[in-house]
Amino acid sequence: MSKKLKIGLFGFGVVGQGLYDITVSRHLNLEIKKIAIKDASKKRSLPSELFTTDRWEILNDPEINTVIELINDAEAAYEIVSYALKNGKNVVSANKKMIALHLEELVQLQRKHDTALLYEGAVCGSIPIIRNLEEYYDNELLYAVSGIFNGSSNYILSKVFNENQTYGDALRKAQELGFAETDPTLDVGGYDAKFKVCIAAAHAYGLFINPDDVLNIGIQNLHLSDMKYVSEKGQKLKLVPVAKKRNDNEVSIYVLPKLVERDDFLYNVENEYNGVSVQAAFADQQFFFGKGAGGHPTGAAVFSDISALRYDYRYEYKKTLVEEKVDFNNEEVIQVYLRFNQQRLLQELPFISIDETFSCKQYHYVVGSVRLADIFNAKDAILADGAFIADTGKYVAHTETLAEEAVCCNID
């Protein structure tokens, strides 16, 4: 039998309202007792007595046994979530930045205080990838978890490659529709996708990784010449986070644009939709598809977590408990397309081998093999140059040998 949940909700934006719509349409054993907001003067569709600007009305209410955190401020969210867990309240959150930055500590708090933190809505909206990594793949050897984790950037790229819009026009449209913020850096810079893949890696590999150590370069420097190159190859461009097992005890994690072939599942994932690919030793490749943004899709994921708490569900983090731990290592060598403006950038980013080159007055590009760690170190130089870099998706054999024999290639 399910237990009664008395809920304190933090945040009543797009997702908060979507969650409320879903909750009132279902006749379950739960009650939203109080909603914490920042702006009391803003007109609301619900009775004013349901709202408060004082977080302690929720956190110190002994009747409230469940906290739902749906605010934008990562540090404020961490304070709310950690306090709630320490004081016997279960929590559901959709704040991917907060969770990625503090996940290891939050796991310890759950274990110490016998409380639960669920966050399906933080990773890929309506796609239940965390629950599947926890339950379906709990004893499976996973080779890779990757895909399209950010609906805003995917919407922009869809408009660019399907409707021949410029990057600037597609970005403005995404902002008008509420898919992208006024400052879109979190989305188009690959930060949002990085936070999400770091969370997924904890469940896939038992690895807690500081997001600051993970490479992320987004689509912010996308140029007409890059679009032309991709189109001439018969490919599409997607922003793809990757968590990949390199060997028995190492995992590489990164976020880069990727050139996607027609036979790739991601090729037909368009607009604000997300797609997650899981490559496993026994289950082989499986693909999850669904809306990654919007009030109701994300609200549905949050509601699923709330429903699970009625039966005392919690993540077990089984892969963090195994004796043989995995380490983070970004020595992986990948083949990339790099379009750049100044030749001196190649001194900052040493290629191991070059497979293709092009040069004209307006720009230059190379296709070749390079180490992820070297891209990470050259990130600021790449962005400052206005350069665009993308994973070609081509397999690079004998990556360890190549890395050891790396030489700097001079290009005229």
Residues forming the active site: 196
Class of residue 243 by CB neighbours under 10 A (exposed 0-12, middle 13-18, buried 19+): buried
**Inter-residue contact 345 to 381 (CB < 8 Å):** yes
Query: Would you state the structure tokens that stand for residue 292, as one six-digit string?
Result: 């990654």
Burial of 320 (0-12, 13-18, 19+ CB in 10 A): middle
| DSSP labels, 226-238 | HHHHHHHTT-EEE
CB contact at 8 A, 216 and 194: yes
DSSP string, 154-195: HHHHHHHHHS---HHHHHHHHHHTTSS-SSTHHHHTTHHHHH
Which residue has 């009747």 as its token pair? Answer: 63
State both tokens at 267: 């090729």
Sheet holding 117-118, edge to edge: 51-52, 30-36, 5-10, 66-69, 90-93, 117-118
Per the listing, tokens 């040998």 go with 401
Both tokens assigned to 335: 């083949």
